[in-house]
A and B are shown apart, each in its own frame.
Chain A
Amino acid sequence: MNNTIIKVIHLSKIYKTEMLETIAVDDVSFEIKKGEFVAIMGPSGSGKSTLMHILGALDRPTKGTYILDGENVENLNDDELSDIRNRKIGFIFQAFNLLPRTTTLKNVMLPMTYGGVPKEKRTEIAVKYLQMVGLGDRMYHTSNQISGGQQQRVAIARSLVMDPALIMADEPTGNIATAQAEEIMAIFQKLNDEGRTIVMITHEPDIAEHAKRIILIRDGRIVSDSNNKQKRFSSSTSDKANKKQLLEKKI
């Protein structure tokens, strides 16, 4: 059994316009194993979003190899990428990206309609994950009738229904209040404890601290890749402050 979820080798992404060439990701290589909780950090313009798009199979690298859960991704066509995303990646976006004026249940069922899950099973699975994120009583609310934190929990439920190899979160707490952000991170940690692999893009050190491993990106290159003594909710405030200082120093 292969334990490597993500393997990137000499990965580069170069944007070319007539005038100039921008290297967004510059010869990056790393691996992420099953069960890891990785935060990719970096200031804006560091290339972390581009890297996330490639890791999320939303974009193709210019050079290099990307193996996601045993499958080569770099040369797939649009439809094959759609299929890979559907089966292997659960997305959580900063702006939640739920279908407007659609019930949370329908939103959570959406990836299953594309993944060919039998109709009878879809509701059952969707309800299970909605209950898991604590929204069992909000199934028939439309997405504009619930709070930002709740919307993000719907998005988390949606990311899980296809039982993906990887959960990809892009600034998951960027649009929600701090208290609710803590709830979201608690769910992430719980998922990680259950053995799920999570890759999270963030620029907030507070949030990154919840991860087990932090990769720092600057100018398209990895500047540090270190294990993190994961912040637990039991941890003391002073401990938290220390961690924060440490992280800020790194950045």
Chain B
Amino acid sequence: MMEIWEQIIESVIMLKLNKMRTGLAMLGIIIGIGSVIALMSIGQSSQKAVQDRIQSLGSNLLTISPSSQRSGMVRGASNVTTLTLKDAESIASSSEVTTVKYVSPEYSGRSQIVTGENNTNTSIIGVEPVYTEVHNLTVASGSFITDAQVASMAKVAVLGPTVAEDLFGDTSFDAIGQIIRIGSQNFTVIGITTAKGGSGMGNQDSQVYVPLSTAQKQLFGVNYLSSIAVEANSAEVMDQAVNEIGYLLMARHKFTDTTKVDFRIQNQEDILSTVTEVSGTMTSLLSGIAAISLIVGGIGIMNIMLVTVTERTREIGLRKALGAKKKTIITQFLTESAILTFVGGIIGIIVGISASYVYAKVNSSIFTVSPSSVALAFVVSVAIGILFGWYPARRAANLQPIEALRYE
């Protein structure tokens, strides 16, 4: 019985004898493994990006928003006027609510903002100072809204960095102290928030913060809230917090049936897990497609190995005549196909990692390659070599020496 190292060296020599064919057979595996790695890594990094963004909105966050109590009818939440500052205050002060750390009442609306030469239309959020705690918001320059400013309905505004740039262009760094017009009223800019990145709806970088009282009374003329953000003490008590707040608000709003209430409490974890699930599905879909290409690659290997067996029929016959047993021949051909996929797998991993690196660079997203996906791809590639090499190897081993020797 030949030792395995000798067998490997022998197989490498045999594979080197036909470089073109070896290369083509490997190509299928390289593409298969490469795309599995790249797609898994791209999927994971976009999943992580989404998670980070949701996380950046605040941790252990519950959002209470008004909703229509009439079931079966869709109404825009902003039209519902049932949530008030009193509700927020009672959540913060009630002895029945024990699991809540911060309560941030908020009112958001859209308005035109004008400076001397520029103007933009963006969302204005009326907030209390606690907003920064609940939403992990920090101020890059200047300061945030204070309790005193809320109490006095001060006409001050904190700008998101995108808004600041839209309004003041390159000079946004000395926007503080400038006057902007929101609606028809003048506001003094007192701060600019730190950029959080991201884009689209609810992007914190393109918001303008004003005191809650100012937003309600001066800008929009309302006396209700569009939402209350609540930070729970810890991730473990989220469900308890939802219950406590839910019962408190039901009592305040005089509802007895939990299915018919005029508010809705959303757990950030729910949103996160929904998003994670969606992007997870995408990732596995992409991986599925990549896996198919891997199988195609495997069939390519099988095809090449079958051709090899046919072409080397005389050689196999000779080897058997000289004393090679079935096991020896099987080992020989399995080693060859395993080496094909092993080397192809390594190249594929390199190709896949490079591809996801390039993708991350181009899209300025996070570059992640999980060791588990590399390990998986590697094991799969060698397994494919053995799986798809098995049939050709068996065919070779079962050749009868006299027929194989006579084969022209």
State the A residues within 8 Å of B (CB): 53, 56, 58-59, 78-79, 82-83, 85-87, 91, 93, 97, 99-101, 110-111, 113-116, 119, 158, 162
Contact = CB atoms under 8 A, between A and B. Distances in A.
Interface string B310-333: 000011001111111111100000
Nearest to A162: B323
A114 B400 CA distance: 17
A79 B325 contact: yes
A201 to B, nearest CB: 13
Contacts of B402: 53, 58-59
Contact of A87 (B315, B323, B326, B328): B323
A79 B326 contact: yes
B318 A86 contact: no
Give the top 3 A-B pairs by smallest Cβ distance, nearest first. A86-B323, A114-B323, A79-B325
B148 interface: no
Given A78-B326, A101-B17, A110 B319 contact: yes
A111 B315 contact: no
B251 interface: no
A99 B323 contact: no
B321 A114 contact: no
Contact of B322 (A59, A79, A100, A114): A114
Nearest to B398: A78
Q: Is the interface of B mostly helix, strand, loop or mixed?
A: helix
7 contacts: A82-B325, A87-B323, A97-B318, A97-B405, A114-B324, A116-B1, A158-B322
Interface string B375-408: 0000000000000000000000000111001000
Given A59-B402, A97-B405, A115 B318 contact: no
A91 B317 CA distance: 12
Given A58-B405, A119-B6, 13 more contacts: A56-B321, A58-B321, A58-B402, A59-B400, A78-B325, A86-B323, A97-B314, A97-B318, A113-B6, A114-B2, A114-B322, A114-B325, A119-B3
Chain B CB within 10 A, most for which of A58, A83, A85: A58
B405 A115 contact: no
Contacts, number: 57
Nearest to A110: B322
B402 to A, nearest CB: 5
A153 B323 CA distance: 20
B40 to A, nearest CB: 41
A58 B322 CA distance: 10
A111 B314 contact: no
Contacts of B3: 119
A77 B296 CA distance: 37
B323 A82 contact: yes
A40 B314 CA distance: 24
A203 to B, nearest CB: 17
B344 to A, nearest CB: 23
Contact of B315 (A82, A99, A162): A99
A199 to B, nearest CB: 15
Given A101-B17, A114-B328, A83 B323 contact: yes
A79 B405 CA distance: 17
B318 A111 contact: no
A201 B325 CA distance: 26
Nearest to B324: A114
Q: Output the residue of B321, B323, B324, B326 with the most chain A CB within 10 A.
A: B323
B313 to A, nearest CB: 12
B322 A111 contact: yes
Nearest to A93: B405
A86 B325 CA distance: 10
B332 to A, nearest CB: 11
B4 to A, nearest CB: 13
Contacts of B325: 78-79, 82-83, 114
The listed residue with most A CB atoms (<10 A of its CB), out of B322, B400, B402, is B322
Contacts of A87: 323
Nearest to A54: B402
Nearest to A168: B321
Among B326, B400, B402, find the residue whose CB has the most chain A CB atoms closer than 10 A: B402
A195 B326 CA distance: 33
Contacts of B322: 85-86, 91, 110-111, 114, 158
A232 B218 CA distance: 128
Contacts of B324: 82, 114
A158 B321 CA distance: 12
